[in-house]
Structure 1
Amino acid sequence: MTGSMLFGAFMAALLYVLIPGPAFLALLGIGAGQGRKAGALFLGGHLAGDLVWSTLALVAIVGAKTIGTMVFDVLGLFCGFYLAWIGWSALRAKKRVDGSAMMAVERPLRRGLVFGLTNPKGYPVALATFTALLASSSNALDFQALPTLLGVSLLGFLVADVVLVTIIGAGLVRRFYRRHELAIVRMSGLLFMGFAVQAVWHAAPGLLGWRKA
């Protein structure tokens, strides 16, 4: 186990979380509208998905049997419909009379868990990120290294989560969000709809047998 391998796994996990995507947008709304505690709960649930996708990515990189595309096509289709529902809800959002957050989430931990396990960027981005940062140590990768790499990756996930919770809970960020909440929520809705179309677009060919081998 080399230092460069450990550093690569840590940075891959860190960047995987910090790369903007559907979960980042959801976290922005939850954290800025409901505070750091709700944002932390969302990320706590999302961590389960981070670990699942990073594990699959590392297993694939090591050269073990990869999971068939059908699993990810079905998951992608589910992701698409789920994101479309969230996007449609955001597009139809209206300011509340009592001044509370427009897109308040009653169970942020559960929302984070669902987001993490159905994140359309999950496996592809994890695979690309870990591959890029572990490429120099590819010859030393084996199954015996997996537990250590996952432990280092978990540390990277936690550091990234702390960074995000700190940012979204800052007073400046929260004030800016609440001042422009309606515009931000609806623009986020459009982005979620775009993510949904992308997820379905990539999943449909495989499910319909149109994807070339």
Structure 2
Amino acid sequence: MTGSMLFGAFIAALLYVLIPGPAFLALLGIGAGQGRKAGALFMGGHLVGDLIWSSLALVAIVGAKTIGTMVFDVLGLLCGFYLAWIGWSALRARPRTDGAALMTVERPLRRGLIFGLTNPKGYPVALATFTALLASSSNALDFDALPALLAVSFFGFVLADVIMVAIIGASLVRRFYRRHELAIVRMSGLLFMGFAVQAVWHAAPGLLGWRRP
């Protein structure tokens, strides 16, 4: 176990969360519309998915067999439908007369948990990010190193979550969001629909037997 290996896992976890994706857009709406507490709950739920995908990525990197493409294809299909539902809801959003946020999430912790477990960038991005930053220490990677790598990855995830919540909950960001909320929500809806199409597009060939081995 080397210091560069631990540092690489920490930075990989940090970048994995900070790379923009569907969860970032969801956090923007929740944090800016409902405050830092709701944003923190969302990211707390999302942390579960981060840990699961990074664990699978690290296991794959040290040479274990992956659990097969079928699981990820089914997950991608379900995720696509879920993102499409969120996107359609955002596109149909209408201004509220009481001044409340347009897209209020009643259970941000549960929403974050679902997002984390069905994140379309989950396993592939985790695998790519950790591989890139641990490549220089590949000869020293083994299963005995996994607990320490997961521990430093956890701290990387938490730090990234704190950074995200701090930015999204800032008064300047919240004022800008509320001023242009309807346009941002509908634009986010279009992006969610795009993410949904992408998820289904990548999952369908494997489920239909069209993907080449």
TM-score normalized by structure 1?
1.00
For structure 2, the residue ranges without an aligned partner over 5 or more in a row are none
Aligned partners of 1:104, 1:122: CA distance in 2, in Å? 25
Q: Trace 1:37-116 onto structure 2 (pairs within 5 A).
A: 37-116=37-116
Q: Secondary structure at the match of 1:23?
A: helix
Task: State the shift of 1:11 in Å.
Answer: 0.3
Runs of 4+ with >3 A deviation: none
Is 1:159 aligned to residue 142 of structure 2?
A: no
Corresponding residue of 2:25: 25
Aligned partners of 2:96, 2:134: CA distance in 1, in Å? 48
Aligned partners of 1:129, 1:104: CA distance in 2, in Å? 32
- The one-letter amino acid of 2:104's match is A
Task: State the shift of 1:157 in Å.
Answer: 0.2
Q: Deviations over 1:73-109 (max 9, x none)?
A: 0000000000000000000001111000000100000
- The one-letter amino acid of 1:18's match is L
Q: Secondary structure at the match of 2:64?
A: coil
For structure 1, the residue ranges without an aligned partner over 5 or more in a row are none
Corresponding residue of 1:127: 127
Aligned residues: 213
TM-score normalized by structure 2?
1.00
Q: Deviations over 1:42-74 (max 9, x none)?
A: 000000000000000000000011110000000
Aligned partners of 2:46, 2:100: CA distance in 1, in Å? 24
Aligned partners of 2:165, 2:199: CA distance in 1, in Å? 27
Aligned partners of 2:66, 2:166: CA distance in 1, in Å? 36
